A and B are shown apart, each in its own frame.
Chain A
Amino acid sequence: MARFILGRLVKAALTLLAILVLNFFLIHAAPGDPAMIMMAETGSSDPQVLADMRARFGLDQSLPMQLALYIKGYLTLDMGWSFRRDVPVFDLIADRLPATLLLTMTAFAISLGLGVLAGALAARRQGGWGDTIISTVALLFYATPLFWMALMASLLFSVGLGWLPGFGYETVGANYTGLARMGDIALHLILPATTLGLFFTAVYARMTRASMLEVNRLDFVKTARAKGLRPSVITRRHVLRNALLPIITLAGLQAGQLVGGAVLTETVFAWPGIGRLMFEAIAQRDYNIILGVFFVSAALVLLFNLITDLLYMVVDPRIRLQS
């Protein structure tokens, strides 16, 4: 087990290094360097200013030296400078990351919990009206585009009914503190998190249902019935546990999108997260931010892959004891 984790960590570190190198060459593949771009935008053409700027950003060094500096920067949590906003990229990302993680993790929890529950209920009464309703609704959510769902939800619950705030992270100017602030944020969270989670709720529901129906047919379920166990115990202890194995794979995939997957939702609901930061950075060609976000997303994907594999080891003894 320890050897497995160690091996995976080494692989993850190598992958991250590869991503850094890739990042670095992506910047240099773009025409001109950041100093030139900024100069062009300010309209200045003073060679001295350009040289100063290059020296300041280390652009006057040789390419291998620049690469070394770039990697060294990331190792010391220096992700470069946002020339647009004139702040370190790390600060920007560190500032926005909590909001995004709050949103995506809530959506993740909602979709996983609700999806598995709905799927299990549907499988329990296969062909009944409950199954029909759940399957139909799941198909609907599955097929509807996320941004449309976001707009409609905002229109209905915020503009129309006025039950929930339709945008933002908290009420601007209210200056809540403590519990009141948490409640305020939670209220703002409901619409974007639910909308973001709907698609995966549908996916989990459909998958859990199919997986449980498949496990239901296996011999050990018949063995469990022959013991005289109650159906609810059989479902929970024997069917669901086995049916959840493929769900873990899927959850790992969804978790990998925790940082990058909320761009649309954050934009529609004006959520001050990484997704919107990235959206703006793309529009403004702020390379360092884009690359920083790219790096953080990649790191989180690797982290969640590792967690998924560890989870498999916990749940499935065949993997735990054979590796």
Chain B
Amino acid sequence: MSLLSVTNLTIALPKGADRPHAVKDISFDLNHGEMLCIVGESGSGKSMSANAVMGLLAEGLSVARGSITFDGQDLVRLSEAQMRTLRGRRIGMIFQEPLTALNPLMPVGRQIEEVFEAHGMLTPAARRDRVIDLLTEVGLPDPSASARAYPFQMSGGQRQRVVIAMALALEPAILIADEPTTALDVTTQAQILRLLDDLRRRHDMGVVFITHDLGVVADIADRVLVMQSGVIVEQGAASDVLLRPQHPYTQALLDAIPQLKGMTDDAPVPTAAPLLQVKGLHKQFRSGGGWLGGKPRVVTALDDISFDLQAGETIGIVGESGSGKSTLGRAIVRLQDVDRGQVLLNGRDMAALRGEALRHDRKRVQMIFQDPYSSLPPRQSIGKTLTEGQVAHGTPIAQARDRAAAILDRVGLDAGSMSRFPHEFSGGQRQRIGIARALVLDPELIVADEAVSALDVSVQAQVLDLLAGLKRDLNLSMLFITHDLRVAGQICDWLIVMQKGRIVETGDAARILNMPSSDYARGLLAALPGRDFETARAAARV
């Protein structure tokens, strides 16, 4: 008999939503010790299904039909008080954002103790001992010191280990993990995935693992369930679904995963006068330390960064969080001042410009941002967003509008979009508008900071295609900042690998992705999820 059995579950959305049901007639089973992955893009209803099992649906949502059978009872019909006795004790849950999943004002050990307290288990002293055991089990260094630490004193990976320890405290039969590694760096992600896999074997837990990342699925899943717009389109054993997908949507998702390979077409030849020359860039951030002394915290974000970029070339800056890659991008567009060094764009030092000269030259470098939701002014029409920069630089409004319409057309949106507002567009469309905004000023260089990282994989593939096309047609020069090596391989001619503010390796993208020479780059590649699957899939295709 299966551990958990979901039958014809239907969750109603409030009136006025884009569809009547968030989740419609889904049925699946979870067995003891099984890793079940639910895959889907944003809005597919995957998180909501998991929340329903936990009895933690957001306000306004309710189960309209169906049952969730666990321990011989239907969870849908349990009262809130009955549900509470199961939460944390029989079903544990891990969330996506380790940075916000813990109470900032409470030591983490105390937060784990609360799980025992909530279910009236153990004496306070015994609880504290168990917390140390748990923190040891999830691999935190110096468990007793960790127990006393506050969340802000820990890294994202460490916090996620705390959340896992919390979910495991009472050895639940089921663990629900909602995108638990999405916010983490690849190397940290690999560690957390290994930990979760270990723990479920040791405790014979059934794990429902929700993710949008098929690479992760390929690495860990026993069974896979693919959701689209609230329905399950395909489910089965991981090897079947991933290597012999039946449903066209599954196939499309799999095809949209970027292949780990470098660009093969010829990159521009280095010339005597590169478009961009970055020379000896340094930047340190200091915090703390008052006027009475005290030691300030110093973080070196950029440590002697130098490189050249040829016209028409795309250089990828890759690294994990804290590597300084974003600071580098911001320094080049002058959103960040540097301590010393030069940013020569066609021979003119952007880092030294001030005042009016800087304002005038700003249009020569434009930026595409990560979050398509917060990077467009919400109460301003797209037309205004696309013309205000041009007008500020002296273009007559009529001409600016013509140019905006032409660029919109080029990024695949019709000119009618000009009179609409950001909220009327999907994430992918907004990112196209973000690209249009960068292009409309006819910049010499574009800096794209994690420009496709917030997008679903199928949308990501479309936006990458668009960028590749623009690069070809307009001979765009681009600095492409990303944490995702697969994405970097899709679009970059040349890669710069950064770690802790320094360049640890540079080279042809294909060369680095196939034969990295630095240990750090090798580690990054080894941590990429789904590498074996990629090989298997390539073999299956031949």
Contacts and interface: CB of A to CB of B under 8 A. Distances in A.
Interface string A121-154: 0000000000000000000000000000000000
Nearest to A322: B288
Nearest to B90: A228
Nearest to A245: B105
Contact of A226 (B87, B103, B292): B87
B165 to A, nearest CB: 12
Select the residue from B89, B106, B114, B290 with max chain A CB neighbours within 10 A: B114
B263 interface: no
A6 interface: yes
A210 interface: no
Nearest to A6: B292
B500 to A, nearest CB: 21
Interface string A290-323: 0000000000000000000000000111100111
Contact of B115 (A228, A230, A237): A228
A82 interface: no
B140 interface: no
Interface size of A as a range: 20 to 34
A15 interface: no
Given A3-B292, A321-B150, A228 B95 contact: no
Nearest to B100: A219
A96 interface: no
A56 interface: no
Interface in B497-529: none
Contacts of A237: 106, 114
Chain B interface residue bracket vs A:
35 or more
A57 interface: no
Interface in B245-293: 288, 290-293
B86 A228 contact: yes
B118 A220 contact: no
B103, B107, B119: residue with the most chain A Cβ atoms closer than 10 Å? B103
A241 interface: yes
B56 interface: yes
B291 A226 contact: no
A229 B163 CA distance: 15
B104 interface: yes
Contacts of A322: 288
Contacts of A226: 54, 56, 87-88, 92-93, 167
B207 to A, nearest CB: 15
A84 interface: no
A142 B317 CA distance: 54
A228 B55 CA distance: 11
Contacts, number: 89
B153 interface: yes
A54 interface: no
Nearest to A220: B103
Contacts of B102: 220, 223
B294 interface: yes
Contacts of B293: 3
Contact of B105 (A225, A233, A316): A316
Interface in B291-319: 291-294
A242 interface: yes
Interface in A237-264: 237-238, 241-242
A242 B104 CA distance: 8
Contacts of B115: 227-228
B118 A317 contact: no
Name A's interface SS. helix
Given A219-B97, A242-B105, A225 B87 contact: yes
B101 interface: yes
A237 B114 CA distance: 10
B114 A224 contact: yes
A131 to B, nearest CB: 14
B166 interface: yes
A3 to B, nearest CB: 6
A49 B206 CA distance: 100
Interface in B17-46: none
Given A3-B292, A7-B290, A227 B87 contact: yes
A223 B95 contact: yes
Given A222-B56, A238-B103, A227 B114 contact: yes
B292 A227 contact: no
A229 B118 contact: yes
B330 interface: no
A88 to B, nearest CB: 37
Contacts of B87: 225-228
Given A220-B100, A227-B87, A318 B54 contact: no
Contact of B291 (A7, A220, A222, A241): A7
A237 B103 CA distance: 10
Contact of B119 (A7, A228, A238): A228
Interface string B220-252: 000000000000000000000000000000000
A238 B104 CA distance: 9
Nearest to B297: A322
Nearest to B59: A126
A172 interface: no
A218 interface: yes
A319 to B, nearest CB: 10
A321 B118 contact: no
B395 interface: no
B83 to A, nearest CB: 8
Given A222-B101, A227-B118, A230-B84, 18 more contacts: A7-B292, A219-B100, A219-B101, A220-B104, A222-B95, A226-B167, A227-B87, A227-B88, A227-B115, A228-B115, A228-B119, A229-B88, A230-B118, A233-B118, A242-B103, A242-B104, A315-B105, A316-B105
Q: Which 6 A-B pairs have the closest CB atoms?
A: A228-B88, A228-B87, A219-B100, A227-B88, A226-B93, A317-B150
